[in-house]
Amino acid sequence: MSFKLLKLLLRTGKFLRVTPPLSNKDTGFLQRSYILGVFFTISVGVIMSTLYKKCYLQYIHIKIIISFLEDIALYTLNFYASVVLNFWKAESWFHLMENLKATESLTSAKREKLPYYFGFLLLNIVYWVLALHEIIIWYRLTNLDYFLKQYFIVIIQLYLKFFCTFLLNVVTNMLLSRYRGVKLLLLNFLRRKKKFGALNTLDMMHQTETIVHFLKKTVDMYNEIFGFPIFLTISFTTLHILNYVHYTIFYSNRFEVLDMIILNIGFLTWNLVGAVTLITLCDLVQQEGEKILTLSYKLHVQCHTVEDVCRFESFLQLISNNLPKFTAAKFFYIRRSTILDMLNTVYTFLIIMIQFEAQ
């Protein structure tokens, strides 16, 4: 994936004050003051919204706890994206951008069928259609003032969370394209070696070592910057699914509005797809790393001397030690099985909540 979409996101993020700029040339006192001002406004809105949420009092105690944990996860994610990234992680962010630029030659410049901004534009339209639909439903059920006091700031926060998740997906996809580039580099070398038989295997091993080690450092930077947002995204999504499913079962029927159930399903799908896509991309990057290691073993047939064999073993050890791994703030490794863990957590807690409701 090229830098075009990333630059579009960072320009939008600069306006929303939820992401650092592409380079440190765009940082300054005025921008940082604006960031703090925007986040202070959001914080005031969150406090006022929490004070107005009298509906929490009608819930059972475990649902109250889950609802507050969901609110805290959402607020903390936005705090991290807008404040921590800009003030404490800015230097690491700029290093990550430099590393991605330095390895852009590994990506294949294939022609896209749709404009690079199409997906981002489409998802923005979908989100605001859902948000507008929710405003209309609540206006019909109660009144607009009631909704604005309790949930308008949540809509803003959910959009900022969507933006952060989309940025995570874009950067992760950029890492994926670079690991695929290394895999293609090895595949092309093995094909040419088989066809011509006069290529230098040691040079290829040295080139692969250098790139894989550099990409591993890039992944480590990614984990340092985005490990906590990934953890918060997964936590929020799990709590959000649990809350919405429970609400749909026990509370939406009080309004007898089919639109409310459809809306809940829409927001559930919206948040779940974002988290699942992120987890899947992380897993795909790790799979590409394992494929690179598998292809590296095939270079063994090109070693003809004892020195070549020793060099090859050292090469394999380096590749094996530099495979990409993604962590959620070092709490757990991110694999495709994380999706099942999320759903299993939802299922377990939903059963517990249903039992409490029955009592």
Give one DSSP letter per residue of 95-119, joined into a string. HHHHHHHHTGGGS--PPPSS-TTHH
Instruction: Look at 3-12, 32-41, 294-303 and tell me which has the smallest mean pLDDT.
Output: 294-303
Give how many domains the chain has, as a whole number. Answer: 1
Residue 178 has pLDDT above 80, yes or no: yes
Task: Report CA 348 to chain centroid distance, whole Å.
Answer: 25
Q: What is the pTM of this model?
A: 0.89
Instruction: Look at 11-15, 77-81, 170-174 and tell me which has the smallest mean pLDDT.
Output: 11-15
pLDDT, one tens digit per residue, over 288-334 is 999 999 988 887 765 666 777 788 888 888 989 999 999 998 888 99
Report yes or no: 39 and 17 within 8 Å, Cβ to Cβ. yes
Distance of alpha carbon 228 from alpha carbon 246, whole angstroms: 27
Q: What is the pLDDT of residue 219?
A: 96
Higher pLDDT, 237 or 26: 237
b/e code 294-303 from CB counts within 10 Å (16+ = b): ebbeebeebb
114 pLDDT band (50/70/90 cuts)? low
Backbone angles phi, psi at 327, to 5 degrees: -125, 150
Q: What is the pLDDT of residue 184?
A: 92
Report yes or no: 163 and 13 within 8 Å, Cβ to Cβ. yes
- 210: Cβ contacts below 8 Å, ≥ 6 apart: none
Name the DSSP class of 305.
Answer: S
- 193: Cβ contacts below 8 Å, ≥ 6 apart: 199, 201, 302
Please give the residue range of the domain that contains residue 328: 3-358
The pairs formed by 33-37 with CB atoms below 8 angstroms and a separation of 24 or more are 35/82, 35/83, 35/86, 35/87, 36/83
Higher pLDDT, 352 or 251: 352
